A and B are shown apart, each in its own frame.
Chain A
Amino acid sequence: MKRNCQNTRMLKIYPGILAGFVGLLLYGFSPLSVQGAGLKHLIPTDDAFDCYACHKIATPKIAQNWYESKHGMILVKCFVCHGQPDGKGSIPWTVSPDPKAVCQKCHDPAMKRMEAKFGVKLNCVKCHPFHQDSLHHDAYKKTQSKSQ
């Protein structure tokens, strides 16, 4: 499915601010900031929809991994696990979703099996690369994603 981002023009860019925070530009996209406490992101307007549309340009590898994953195939979109960038959503805004707050909603039976087998695991994603678990090993090749 082709997604398009139409509303970024609504986000005003002020040259002065840009000039003053070149450092933040670099910091904002460094792995350190993404994994660190001070997560940086666009300020979303009320219309800042469709994470995938921007992320396939800003972070193409992650976006494509999601698209081809089980979550992408069944449209469990970014915000279901990661929340809203301004923190005003119903799910905490985070890079690494809290298994108890997020993964449990669908994977509670599997989490219980894991706990029984290996003891309590606090971080599901350490072992399960959720973005990369392709649903059909070649299904995506038949889809629009090939042309994107």
Chain B
Amino acid sequence: MKLTRRDVLKTAAASSAIMALNGSLPMLKEAAAAEPDKWVKAVCRFCGTGCGVMIGVKGGKVVTVKGDPNNHNKGFLCLKGALMPPIVYAKERVTKPYIRKDGQLQAATWDEAMELVVSKFKTALKEHGPTSIAYYGSGQALTEESYLANKIWKAGLRSNNVEGNPRLCMASAVGGYVTSFGKDEPSGSYEDIDAATCFFIIGSNMSECHPILFKRVASRKQADPNVKVIVVDPRKTNTARIADEHVSFKPGTDLAILNAMAYVIIQEELDNPRFYDKYVNFMTNKKKKVDFKAYQKFLEDYTPEKAEKISGVPADQIRRIAKMFASSSGTVSFWTMGLNQRIRGVWANNLVTNLHLLTGQIGKRGATNFSLTGQPNACGGVRDTGSLCHLLPAGRVIKKAAHRAQLEKQWGLKPGTIAPKPGLHTIALWNAFSEAKVKAMFVLCTNPAHSLPNVNMYTEGMKRKDNFMVLSEPFMDAETVKYCDVLLPPAFWCEKRGVYGCSERRYSLLMQAVEPMGECKSDIDILLDFAKRMGVDPKVIPFKNVDDVWDEWREVSSATPYNFKGMTRARQEKESGLRWPCPTEDHPGTKIRYVRGEDPNIPKDYKNKYWYYGYPDGKAKLWMRPYAPAAEEPDAEYPMVLTTGRVIDHWHTGTMTMKVPELRRSFPKAYVEVNEEDASKLSIKNGDNVELETRRGKMVFQAKVSDVCRPGLVFVPWYDANLMINKLTLNAFDKGSKQPEYKICAVRIKKA
């Protein structure tokens, strides 16, 4: 619909009139008069940027928030962060336990609910063994909560079925870092942004998904006009507004582009043999160590011209961005779900890292390969505590007997307590739950009935009567509430105490600002109660409170390169976050890992400047990963590509942002973004209803016609519970990381 100035004036007049008749405006909410009694230090509840917030409390209630000037965000908040208070007091808050009886959730006491939960778990354990129970956690749970659940399951109940939603958002990044460096997590920090002269942003709409980091990048560009920004994305997002080069490509072909960039870098002699000769091993896809010449030969399949044929990106543009990347004084690359949520997500991660290893754009201020994470505590809470089915705390893996033995010793367990076989990864776990092979599942702080790909498949399984799901969820309108058998009321965000660890390895303490609502309990208390009722050995779970859990985790880390023993609670209360490694109480935290003089794991007199200690020979790995297509490429039947993602106003499944009137109204419902050319061919106008059909089903969305998507691509945001695009997405996953390919599936569209 085209809107003219005249339309707007007419409408304005009408509404002015109606307003005049209605009388004065309602009372204002967050007025200046509400000067808080106190400010309490915490971290934002939303994305993986992990901005520090100060929570304003008046009369025992949260009345406002402001940015923490001492955390990395220097006092700034994005629009979601600035509007958090209404979420706490949403009318949908779950404030007492519920048990499903005759299909309906009915209020119950804590004792009734927990006894039912425990009886179901005990029965499953007794009749079907430890593989029939599972924990499905979250990158939004506190670190202590994930650590505790992991220990209850793996050490207490001897079940490795510990998974969580981070499998859906950053498993490929873990796979990428571990295969390239032998250790997980980024090596740089946000401060690298202030020193970089080139930004390579690929598969990330930072501006809407990590707004405060985007602000920092934009400010860097403003301060120095010579700073170059490259945005590689098939959508022309708001991030591309500051791009010197926006590289639009056929979705799924970025692997070819990244290899072609490496080809150009070598051809233009912008590579750095002094770095890679000493610190890098060249590896074939079959894990064979080869030499540089073999790598050069591998790259012959990826000349810019060949890559142009695959990706649709002009060869000249590939040459330009490769030169920018390699010749800057410092390049920082950022990526998120565009690379991770792919069946070749690990490979894509490796190929970005290759460019850094080839050019030596790593391990110095302003030069790093930086995977941004999507949730506030996916890094610190789940990756670092090893709360996934194949991991153990601090970078250890279940498969390695030595790793299990180390942890058993640290945890004071009998040798052989930890089961040697990894548990089920997220997709396999939900498949098993749908088939009732997993009988009892504890879901905490996540909404799988909305967030799993091809979600109808799994919600059907959740409806079964012969499996059992207990859910700890603060909001009654979360989709998964419809399917749970017991619903527990957790304390929310500012009502509890614990640690969030963001993308830059920064652990910040969230202090409790207000008392939990109604009968709500912190998830730590819920899990401790569960362990006690399950009869877990009190020597294994000896904790009285959240601080005890933190102290043990700190001690466990001290025997590993994660070492953050120096982050005592007293120190955390005082400081606004510290970056690990941080081995002693007087250590300031680490800005750059693997570098002598910066990383406390490297002796000060170590012979070389860099030491990639994740591998025995101290070298990083450059992997020759070939281009491979998506799991479901478009074809004659389904000729277009569907991709999904976020809008700045909403976060994940919208259970929080939909509670803020401003955010809810800003994007009240999901829509489909269609390119102007496609729209014109299909006679679709802005605002028309459009039917999207994939092999999983069909749905109708209102069209937004624009030039944001490239032709052949449509985008739908995934936050809307009433229009869940995950009914149409694909559950094919990366063989390495087991992360599903949300970002690409084939679709056909028509005017509804």
Known: A42-B15, A49-B668, A74-B78. A80 touches B662 (CB 8 A): yes
Among B3, B20, B25, B706, the residue within 8 A (CB) of A57 is B3
Which residue of chain A is the closest to B87 with respect to CB atoms? A90
Report the minimal beta-carbon distance from A24 to chain B, rounded to whole angstroms: 4
Q: Is A129 an interface residue (CB 8 A)?
A: no
Query: A11: which B residues are within 8 A, CB to CB?
Result: 11, 14-15
Complex: how many Å from CA A29 to CA B65?
33
Complex: how many Å from CA A47 to CA B13?
19
The answer on a CB contact under 8 Å between B83 and A1 is no
The answer on a CB contact under 8 Å between B15 and A43 is yes
The answer on a CB contact under 8 Å between A79 and B666 is yes
Complex: how many Å from CA A16 to CA B750?
40
The answer on a CB contact under 8 Å between B30 and A24 is no
Which residue of chain B is the closest to A59 with respect to CB atoms? B8
Q: Which range contains the number of B residues in contact with the other chain?
A: 35 or more
The answer on a CB contact under 8 Å between B661 and A84 is yes
Q: Is A123 an interface residue (CB 8 A)?
A: no
Complex: how many Å from CA A28 to CA B15?
10
Which residue of chain A is the closest to B53 with respect to CB atoms? A105
Query: B215: which A residues are within 8 A, CB to CB?
Result: 74
The answer on a CB contact under 8 Å between B77 and A25 is no
Q: Is B1 an interface residue (CB 8 A)?
A: yes
The answer on a CB contact under 8 Å between B65 and A105 is yes
Q: Is A136 an interface residue (CB 8 A)?
A: yes
The answer on a CB contact under 8 Å between A2 and B708 is yes
Q: Is A35 an interface residue (CB 8 A)?
A: no
Complex: how many Å from CA A38 to CA B263?
64
The answer on a CB contact under 8 Å between A40 and B12 is yes
Known: A58-B8, A80-B79. A75 touches B30 (CB 8 A): no
Query: B7: which A residues are within 8 A, CB to CB?
Result: 8
Query: B517: which A residues are within 8 A, CB to CB?
Result: none
Known: A4-B706, A57-B3. A90 touches B83 (CB 8 A): yes
Complex: how many Å from CA A3 to CA B392?
47
Complex: how many Å from CA A98 to CA B34?
12
The answer on a CB contact under 8 Å between B218 and A136 is yes
Known: A84-B662, A87-B25. A108 touches B69 (CB 8 A): yes
The answer on a CB contact under 8 Å between A58 and B28 is no
The answer on a CB contact under 8 Å between B687 and A6 is yes
Max chain B Cβ within 10 angstroms of own Cβ: one of A5, A75, A107: A75
Complex: how many Å from CA A68 to CA B723?
33
Report the minimal beta-carbon distance from B674 to chain A, rounded to whole angstroms: 11
Q: Is B320 an interface residue (CB 8 A)?
A: no
Known: A11-B14, A80-B662, A136-B242. A93 touches B82 (CB 8 A): no
The answer on a CB contact under 8 Å between B665 and A109 is no
Which residue of chain A is the closest to B35 with respect to CB atoms? A100
Q: Is A127 an interface residue (CB 8 A)?
A: no
Q: Is B64 an interface residue (CB 8 A)?
A: yes
A99-131 vs B, CB cutoff 8 Å, 1 = contact: the mask equals 111001111111000000000000000000000
Q: Is A18 an interface residue (CB 8 A)?
A: yes
| Contact stretch, chosen from B206-214, B432-440, B503-511 | B206-214
The answer on a CB contact under 8 Å between B238 and A75 is yes
Q: Is A20 an interface residue (CB 8 A)?
A: yes
Known: A1-B706, A28-B12, A46-B668. A17 touches B18 (CB 8 A): yes
Complex: how many Å from CA A23 to CA B14?
11
The answer on a CB contact under 8 Å between A47 and B75 is no
Q: Is B705 an interface residue (CB 8 A)?
A: yes
The answer on a CB contact under 8 Å between A21 and B666 is no
The answer on a CB contact under 8 Å between B9 and A21 is no
Max chain A Cβ within 10 angstroms of own Cβ: one of B10, B17, B660, B706: B17
Q: Which of A61-104 contact B (CB under 8 A)?
A: 73-77, 79-80, 83-84, 86-93, 98-101, 104
Query: A140: which B residues are within 8 A, CB to CB?
Result: 241
Query: A32: which B residues are within 8 A, CB to CB?
Result: none
Complex: how many Å from CA A40 to CA B17?
9
Known: A28-B16, A101-B30. A8 touches B661 (CB 8 A): no
Chain A to chain B: the 6 pairs with minimum beta-carbon distance, closest first: A25-B13, A6-B687, A21-B17, A92-B28, A100-B32, A43-B15
A–B Cβ pairs within 8 angstroms, 24 of them: A4-B704, A5-B3, A6-B704, A8-B3, A8-B11, A13-B14, A28-B13, A29-B12, A41-B19, A49-B665, A74-B207, A75-B79, A84-B661, A87-B26, A90-B662, A92-B31, A93-B25, A98-B31, A100-B32, A100-B35, A105-B65, A108-B75, A109-B75, A139-B222
Interface on A for B, CB 8 Å cutoff? 1-2, 4-6, 8-9, 11-14, 17-18, 20-22, 24-25, 27-29, 39-44, 46-50, 53-54, 57-58, 73-77, 79-80, 83-84, 86-93, 98-101, 104-110, 135-136, 139-140, 142-144
Given known contacts A74-B78, A90-B30, A105-B77, what 13 new A-B pairs fall within 8 Å (CB)? A1-B241, A2-B707, A8-B11, A9-B1, A11-B11, A17-B17, A39-B25, A76-B78, A87-B27, A90-B83, A100-B32, A108-B69, A140-B241
